Amino acid sequence: MLTTFSFWGQIARLPKRIGSGDTSCARISIRAPCFLAVRQRSPQFSLVHRASFNSNHNQSTRGTIMAERELIDKDKLVLRGLQFHGFHGVLQEEKTLGQKFIVDVDAWMDLSTAGETDNISDTVSYTDIYRIVKDVVEGPSQNLLESVAHRIASATLLKFPQISAVRVEVGKPHVAVQGIINYLGVEILRYRKDMLGNSSGASLS
């Protein structure tokens, strides 16, 4: 690394070393600027630390970024604002009285063939995915929204091999919090490749 200093005046002689760097400067006339270049060695540990930090940071974010980029600009089916009355929750009142749940679903698949043929057999019907969501949310009580969302995603991927990934968001508008909210909930993203050989939680019974 080079650090440059400038000053005015006449230079008769310069020391051979300043600090830890080599220096040199020619004789100059009065009132002419002189620029002194000092080469400084950065401590070795700083380079190692910087490389280690960059490596750890990249590894921790690379998986998430790559997963998201796999779905950018891909075709998908979209279901928004599905509302059902279910009995999910940890509290006994939730299991007895029930409450409203709001569900959003994105299902990624290639829709180009359906776009060309205009044939329902070349795609997946929204109503079929809707029925899966309805069966899960209005079905047996689960303690956690994570379980509800997982069962929706698993059942969708198992029933429709054309779908490569599913995003499910499940929200509860009525929760015991002191504040104004639309809803609280969870959102999950599941890939077919990650679900292969793992059918746990997919059964709706």
pLDDT in tens, 109-125: 999 999 999 999 999 99
Comparing 5-9, 71-75, 93-97, 134-138, which segment has the lowest mean pLDDT?
5-9
Q: Which of 16, 74, 159, 172 is catalytic?
A: 172
C-alpha separations of 38 from 12, 23, 43 in Å: 18, 6, 16
Q: What is the pLDDT of residue 111?
A: 97
172 catalytic? Reply is yes
- Hey, what are 33's tokens? 């600027």
Could you tell me if 168 and 137 are in contact, meaning their C-beta atoms sit under 8 angstroms apart? no
Per-residue pLDDT at 29: 44
Q: Quote the pTM value.
A: 0.64
172-184 pLDDT, tens digit per residue, is 998 878 888 888 9
When pLDDT is averaged across residues 44-48 and rounded to a whole number, the result is 49
Longest Cα pair distance anywhere in the chain, in angstroms? Answer: 95
Residue in this structure with the two tokens 């400038």, named with its chain if needed: 6
Q: Which of 134-143, 161-170, 177-186 has the lowest mean pLDDT?
A: 177-186
Write out pLDDT tens, residues 185-199.
Answer: 999 999 998 776 555
What phi and psi, each to the nearest 5 degrees, are found at residue 62? -60, -45
Q: Identify any residues that bridge with 108 across adjacent strands, giving them in sequence order.
A: 76, 165
Q: Which residues on neighbouring strands pair with residue 107, listed in sequence order? A: 77, 166
Q: Which residues contact 186 (CB under 8 A, 6 or more apart)?
A: 145, 146, 149, 169, 170
Rg (CA), the chain: 32
- pLDDT, residue 117, reads 97
29 neighbors 49 (Cβ within 8 angstroms): no
Q: What is the pLDDT of residues 53-98, one digit of tens each?
A: 555 656 656 665 666 666 666 999 999 999 999 999 999 999 999 9
Give the whole-number percent of the chain exceeding pLDDT 90. Answer: 53
Pairing of the two strands 17-18 and 76-86: unpaired
What's the mean per-residue pLDDT of the chain?
78
Q: In this predicted structure, what is the pLDDT of residue 193?
A: 85
